[in-house]
Chain A
Amino acid sequence: MKRNKFLLAVGVLTALLLGACSHGKHDSSAPVPVNTNTSGYADTTGGANQLGNAAEDARTAAERALTNNIVYFDYDSSVIKEEYKSVVSAYARYLSANPAAKVRLEGHTDERGSREYNIGLGERRANAVRDALTAAGVTPAQIAVISYGKERPAVEGHDEAAWSQNRRVQIIRL
């Protein structure tokens, strides 16, 4: 019991130290490619494999399509823009073809506005992606929605370069 507490304490200490070290790691001025998970959070998308047959190639292509798993939004908007509709449709195809597969849609906002309003806005964005998926034939039971509002920025920074990367829905395969 005592030992467990020590281990827990050491774990927390390590976490705090690591946390302190990771500060400043993100450089908001660095160019960040669109549709790349820059958050440091879980991206469970599998890597492409190198097997040679046609079926495997098709699967690899499908997998590759799923690596674009972020939909970005305009300020205070939950409208899915034209350029991100392909992200949604790739996931719609994947979920329709794999009825046992599930995703979690994580809604995020930039840091402007109050925390709880942003929780609402993040949910509205995630719901917009959910509605687009179900409209494309995905079963609602395959989709979970959660909003983190402005609590989990992908990029640190207090300018539009950072904000535009933070207004997003991340599609996480479960």
Chain B
Amino acid sequence: MTMLKSLSAALALLLALVIAPAQAQLQITVTNGDVGALPIAIVPFTQVGSVRVDVAQVVENDLVRSGRFRAMSRDEMRQKPNQPAQFDPAPWRSQGTDNVVVGQVLDDGKGGYVARFFLLDSLSGKSVVAYDIPVRGPEQMRYAAHQIADIVYEKLLGLPGYFNTKIAYVSAQGLGYQRTYQLIVADSDGEQPRVIATSRETLMSPNWSPDRKQLVYVGYERGRSAIYLHTLASGQVRKLVSEKGINGSPVFSPDGTKLAFVLSFEINPDIYVMDVSGGNRRRLTDHYGIDTEPAWSPDGSKLVFTSDRSGRPQIYEISVAGGEPTRLTFQGSQNLRPSYAPDGKSLLFVNVDGGRQRIALQDLPGGALHLLSNGPLDEGPSFAPGGAVIIYSSQGPHGRQLETVSVDGRVRLTMRQATGDVQEPAWSPLLK
């Protein structure tokens, strides 16, 4: 190998350290769609020449992958309007497509762009929604497309869109000594993966701050675990907690001021609460069983957590002020890793029953249990913002992969890497 060649290989990898390697790119497949999906047409946008992103395609992918929409193919479109004045509703109506999205990407004259789009109704012939979305530069173009998808989704379904969001996950490659872990943050469609942290030791339990500017996670360093706080804009990493023993399960409170987490240095794993700034640390649970995996209620007044105080792991609820925990789960041999739905009305967790480990949703208080996945080794569930979709990790044919499922169980998506394992997904909050 010549010197030149090896240098260029190294250069390519340096780039890859910032932008995640191709193998970390998630491949998305819809495994089960909604039979009642709404027909929609996303007409290719008229775009100024410097724009590389096919905005209409990004919008279409988002909507189709939600399982709630069925998109007309571009070949079937008899006209390609880019504004309401060019829109002839009749052909769309005759093809059974009530909803048509048209638009343009224009220069804003200041080095940026404007993504202008309209949601048109072929029954009334009218524009239902019209927006100009400012786009600072080409690297922001995909976000504008996701915003368009969010607006269309919310307008037509009455549910908040969740496309202009991020997913954090852990990618692990190799075995034994060679295993390498990366904490990655990608767009909700798996695009633009960025490596946040790389380690030869495990990375676990990423959790977003409510303003989605920071992530907390667990890492190991020189035979010791620690909870780290990563600020995305600056890339700054701060070691928040590193006691002897376990430092685990960090989760931001809904107001973003506190963290709940797990420490074992005072004998065995218990739940602690602390200000994000590091002060006012207090122990919330005190039991000889394993207390772990805390999650806040949406109003911040309670926490659920996993505890094996009754023998096997089950889910308990405790006031943030402390006191006696209440057991919430009774079905199956084990229930673990709980979190509340964004509306607080149901509980999401891992259910173990008959040797199968599946994702379950239980109505609160004490309601029916709905199994949302088939197992046998599903884990790490969390809600997408808005609460309509759940993401979790499963054992796929070539390693661990991510799956999403709508809360009604009808729409399923698989996100997998070419190689290695993808695990520990955490969906970011919506940008407020």
Contact = CB atoms under 8 A, between A and B. Distances in A.
Given A20-B419, A144-B223, A113 B334 contact: yes
Nearest to B294: A116
Contact of B246 (A15, A23, A39, A119): A119
A135 interface: no
Interface string B196-215: 00101010110000000000
Interface string A19-58: 1101101100000000000011100000000000000000
A22 B180 CA distance: 12
Interface in B1-27: 6-7, 9-11, 13-14, 17, 21
A26 B179 CA distance: 14
B202 A158 contact: no
A115 interface: yes
A22 B178 CA distance: 8
B377 A158 contact: yes
Nearest to B249: A116
23 contacts: A6-B7, A9-B14, A13-B9, A13-B13, A15-B178, A15-B200, A19-B173, A20-B174, A22-B174, A22-B178, A39-B176, A111-B377, A115-B204, A115-B423, A116-B249, A116-B293, A117-B290, A117-B313, A119-B269, A120-B246, A120-B268, A121-B290, A144-B223
A76 interface: yes
B233 interface: no
B9 A41 contact: no
B175 interface: yes
A16 to B, nearest CB: 6
Nearest to B200: A15
A65 interface: no
A151 B262 contact: no
B379 A10 contact: no
Given A114-B293, A114-B350, A121-B290, 11 more contacts: A9-B11, A15-B178, A23-B419, A111-B377, A112-B377, A113-B357, A114-B313, A116-B262, A117-B290, A120-B268, A152-B179
A168 B6 CA distance: 42
A147 B204 CA distance: 13
A146 interface: yes
B176 A22 contact: yes
Given A6-B10, A23-B174, A117 B357 contact: no
Interface size class of B (residues with CB under 8 A): 35 or more
B306 interface: yes
Q: Nearest 10 CB-CB pairs, A to B?
A: A19-B174, A40-B176, A120-B290, A19-B178, A151-B202, A114-B337, A114-B336, A9-B13, A6-B10, A120-B269
A53 to B, nearest CB: 37
Contacts of A19: 173-175, 178-180
Contacts of B223: 104, 144, 146
Given A6-B10, A10-B10, A116 B337 contact: yes
B170 to A, nearest CB: 10
- Most chain A beta-carbon neighbours within 10 Å: one of B6, B336, B423: B336
Nearest to B395: A158
Interface string B311-334: 011000000000000000000001
B296 to A, nearest CB: 16
Contacts of B350: 113-114
Given A112-B352, A112-B357, A112-B377, A123 B175 contact: no
Contacts of B424: 115
Contacts of B254: none
B252 to A, nearest CB: 16
Contacts of A116: 204-205, 248-249, 262, 292-293, 306, 337
A124 B268 contact: yes
A173 to B, nearest CB: 14
A16 B180 contact: yes
B347 to A, nearest CB: 14
B231 interface: no
B160 interface: no
A6 B14 CA distance: 8
B135 to A, nearest CB: 33
Nearest to A115: B204
B410 interface: no
A97 interface: no
B306 to A, nearest CB: 5
Interface string B334-377: 10110000000000001010000100000000000000000011
Contacts of A141: none
A107 to B, nearest CB: 10
A145 B352 CA distance: 29
A104 B224 CA distance: 11
A115 B380 CA distance: 8
